[in-house]
Amino acid sequence: MTEKTAVTPATHPAPPARFSHGVRKGNLLQVAGQVGFLPHVEGRPPTPAGPTLREQTLQTLENVRSVLEEGGATWDDVMMIRVYLTDTGHFAELNELYNAYFEEQALKAPPAARTTVYVGLPAGLLIEIDALAVLG
């Protein structure tokens, strides 16, 4: 049986509760919900990339990418992306940012499936994203 392994990039602080930033088992890699915090600096509390949807979305996608890479995956391995937004009015802007980001990634595989839902997040956070990758 394949062992389950926690995946934590050096850019990420220890999670605030008992969970992993990512978990890999066999050829599956599940990335936990990531938010737009800047890379971890020892002694500094988690800090959002900025107050705007643009700043937080781009940082959130980079945080997901960091977990993917640490787990041996790329965006081309991602099958499913779930996006959690706090404001329905952000949907069109999210799509513009999302499309531009993935155009820059120059993916070789078809894009992942995506679900977007609206939720409450801690004060100041506008977006959270998780992903499921299948390697090999």
**pLDDT at residue number 42:** 85
pLDDT digits (tens, 9 = 90+) for 75-126: 999 999 999 999 999 999 999 999 999 999 888 999 999 999 999 999 999 9
Query: Which of 59, 55, 64, 45 is closest to 112 using CA atoms?
Result: 64
> Which H/E stretch holds residue 104?
helix 91-104
Per-residue pLDDT at 64: 98
Please tell me the distance from the alpha carbon of residue 63 to that of residue 129, in angstroms, as a whole number: 9
Question: 11-42, pLDDT tens digit by residue?
Answer: 988 888 899 999 999 999 999 999 999 998 88
Q: Which residues of 101-120 are buried (b: 16+ CB within 10 A; e: fewer)?
A: eeeeeeeeeeebeeebeeee
- The structural domains of the chain, ordered by start, are 4-110+117-123 (3.30.1330.40)
Say how far residue 119 (Cα) sits from the centre of its chain.
16
**Looking at the whole model, is its pTM more than 0.85?**
yes
Residue 57 is predicted with a pLDDT of: 98
